[in-house]
């Protein structure tokens, strides 16, 4: 089998090479992740995370304008692992320069907290809520760190390896989500007269 | 004017009345109407709902069984068809929809997910909607063939034909008594 023709034909428009990306983030203490495969994964210290992400977004050569995802990892029971229990990976893409880069931060179990980046990319709001919901990692400075996928009466974080996969939790009543609804209405210039209770049919 | 009682008429045997009368029971007449005019409410959450579209459409044509009038308000429907996976986050919604339907009402659980949770054996999926609401007919399949849907409707019609008004009334929380309200 030969490679598809468009792969060779498409030139990387001013995209940074792998070595250039590594060099650009070296001032933030970034090093290549030992588990690096496909594209580029860099390990950054937690203290430098926000600065590194801001640089990736704003630098004229990097221009990572899209945050594709924020992913949690639980290394509990991972073979031959001695590092911190959790990791969070930020997947970035530059639609202008067509390079991708991933930043990985290791997070201790006792101090599972990271600075929020919801002000850098709007989509980080929901990604951080999901990571909090599934892994219990707190994002400091997040405006509304509620569960995203699981219901509001859920206790625990189901993607942690020590959560029993088949432990089911019933929900008695839905969350009417009035906090988000009223906030969105006010943002659009509406005046909310009474948003304190759900109207039941 | 003096009261003159009407003399008692001799009882006419039914066989002498020809086609003018049909004798039956209230149950039979009511059930005949109910089972041949089911109004389904499709609670479709996954691929089984796509299959249900085929059931309603022309090739399989559920209107041959009188159940083609799909309603999207629970207050206008008497047959709740759950077609797809139900999560615990959705469960209160499903329960409220069931509660809003007027008696008499029936429930068909269509497909593996609604019946047992399917292969979603995990923390977020309800392992069978009979945890939340009573179910009359279960359909196997992932998703079921349209013929299986039709078979379920035919079986439900048979079940409705067996019902008696007295039994249904006993299921409800409080019997409806005419004129008892304020």
User: Exposed, middle or buried: residue B83 (CB in 10 Å: 0-12, 13-18, 19+)?
Assistant: buried
Q: How confident is the model at residue A179 (pLDDT cuts 50, 70, 90)?
A: confident
The mean predicted confidence, pLDDT, of chain A is 86
pLDDT tens-digit profile of B2-53? 777 777 777 766 667 777 777 788 889 999 999 999 999 999 999 999 999 9
Say whether pLDDT at A66 is over 50.
yes
C-alpha to C-alpha distance for A99 and A15, rounded to whole angstroms: 6
pLDDT tens-digit profile of B85-121? 999 999 999 999 999 998 889 999 999 999 999 899 9
Share of chain A above pLDDT 70, in %: 90
Say whether pLDDT at A31 is over 70.
yes
Stretch among A82-86, A179-183, B132-136, B178-182 having the lowest mean pLDDT: B178-182
For residue B96, give how far its alpha carbon lies from the nearest alpha carbon of chain A (Å).
10
**Measured in whole angstroms, how far is the alpha carbon of residue A68 from the centre of its chain?**
8
Residue of B nearest to A153 (CA): B89
A181 located within any domain: no
pLDDT tens-digit profile of A140-159? 999 889 999 999 999 999 99
A178 located within any domain: no
Q: Which residues contact A98 (CB under 8 A, 6 or more apart)?
A: A12, A13, A15
Say whether pLDDT at B172 is over 50.
no
Say whether pLDDT at B169 is over 90.
no
A195 located within any domain: no
Q: Is A177 on the interface with B (CB under 8 A)?
A: no
A192 located within any domain: no
Q: What is the mean pLDDT of residues A85-101?
A: 91
Q: Which residues contact A3 (CB under 8 A, 6 or more apart)?
A: none
What pLDDT is stored for residue A5 in this prediction? 43
Would you mind telling me the total number of residues written for chain B in this entry? 182
What pLDDT is stored for residue B168 in this prediction? 62
Say whether pLDDT at A169 is over 60.
yes
Q: Say yes or no for a CB contact (<8 Å) between A174 and B122.
A: no
C-alpha to C-alpha distance for A127 and A69, rounded to whole angstroms: 7
Q: Which residues is A93 bridged to in the sheet?
A: A66, A100
Domain that holds residue A17: 10-172
Residues 77-96 of B with CB under 8 A from A: 88-89, 91-93
CA-CA-CA-CA torsion for B74, B77, B80, B82, nearest 10 degrees? -60
The three-class DSSP label of residue B138 is strand
For residue A151, give how far its alpha carbon lies from the nearest alpha carbon of chain B (Å).
5
What pLDDT is stored for residue A43 in this prediction? 93
Stretch among A47-51, A190-194, B54-58, B108-112 having the lowest mean pLDDT: A190-194
Q: How confident is the model at residue B144 (pLDDT cuts 50, 70, 90)?
A: very high
Q: Are the C-beta atoms of residues A33 and A41 closer than 8 Å to each other?
A: yes
Q: What is the mean pLDDT of residues A66-87?
A: 93
Share of chain A above pLDDT 90, in %: 50
The three-class DSSP label of residue A182 is helix
Residue in A171, A173, A198, A199 to test binding to B, most B beta-carbons within 10 Å:
A171
pLDDT tens-digit profile of A107-120? 999 999 999 999 99
A64 located within any domain: yes
CATH number for position A123: 3.30.460.80
- CATH code of B46-169, in short, is 3.40.50.12280
Q: How many CB atoms lie within 10 A of CB A192?
A: 13
Count of the separate structural domains present in chain A:
1
What pLDDT is stored for residue A199 in this prediction? 61
Structure tokens at A3: 């490679």
Q: Which residues contact B41 (CB under 8 A, 6 or more apart)?
A: B70, B71, B72, B73, B74, B76, B77, B79, B80, B81, B97, B101
Interface pTM (ipTM) of the complex?
0.77
Residue with the larger pLDDT of the pair B170 and A199: A199
What pLDDT is stored for residue B80 in this prediction? 95
Residue with the larger pLDDT of the pair A183 and B10: A183
Say whether pLDDT at B62 is over 50.
yes
Residues 122-181 of B with CB under 8 A from A: 122-127
């Amino acid at each position: 089998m030969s490679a598809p023709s468009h792969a060779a034909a498409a030139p990387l428009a001013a995209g940074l090479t792998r070595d250039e990306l590594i060099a650009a983030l070296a001032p933030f203490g970034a090093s290549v992740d030992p588990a690096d495969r496909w594209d580029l994964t860099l390990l950054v210290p937690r203290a430098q995370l926000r600065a590194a992400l801001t640089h990736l977004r704003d630098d004229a050569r990097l221009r990572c304008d899209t945050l594709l995802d924020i992913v949690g990892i639980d290394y509990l029971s991972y073979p031959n692992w001695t590092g911190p229990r959790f990791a969070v990976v930020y997947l970035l893409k530059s639609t202008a320069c067509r390079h991708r880069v991933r930043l990985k931060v290791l997070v201790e179990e006792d101090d599972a907290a990271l600075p929020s980046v919801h002000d850098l990319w709007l989509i980080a709001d929901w990604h951080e809520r999901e990571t909090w919901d599934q892994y219990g990692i707190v994002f400091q400075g997040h405006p509304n760190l509620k569960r995203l996928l699981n219901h509001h009466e859920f206790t625990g974080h189901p993607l942690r390896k020590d959560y029993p996969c088949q432990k089911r939790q019933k929900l008695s009543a839905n969350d009417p989500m009035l906090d988000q609804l009223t906030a969105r209405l006010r943002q659009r210039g509406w005046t909310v007269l009474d948003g304190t209770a759900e109207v039941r049919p | 004017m003096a009261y003159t009682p009407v003399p008692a008429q001799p009882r006419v045997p039914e066989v002498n009345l020809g086609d003018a009368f049909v004798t039956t029971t209230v149950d039979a007449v009511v059930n005949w109407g109910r089972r041949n005019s089911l109004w389904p409410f499709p609670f479709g959450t996954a691929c089984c709902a796509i299959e249900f579209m085929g059931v309603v459409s022309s090739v399989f044509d559920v209107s041959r069984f009188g159940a083609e009038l799909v309603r999207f308000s629970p207050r206008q429907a008497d047959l709740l068809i759950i077609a797809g996976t139900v999560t615990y986050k959705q469960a209160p919604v499903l329960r409220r929809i069931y509660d809003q339907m007027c008696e008499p009402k029936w429930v068909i659980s269509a497909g593996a997910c609604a019946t047992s949770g399917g292969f979603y054996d995990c923390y977020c999926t309800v392992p069978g909607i009979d945890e939340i609401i009573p179910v009359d007919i279960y359909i196997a399949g992932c998703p079921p063939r349209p013929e299986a849907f039709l078979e379920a409707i035919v079986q439900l019609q048979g079940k409705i034909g067996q019902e008696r008004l007295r039994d249904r009334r006993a299921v409800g929380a409080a019997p409806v008594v005419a004129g008892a309200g304020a």
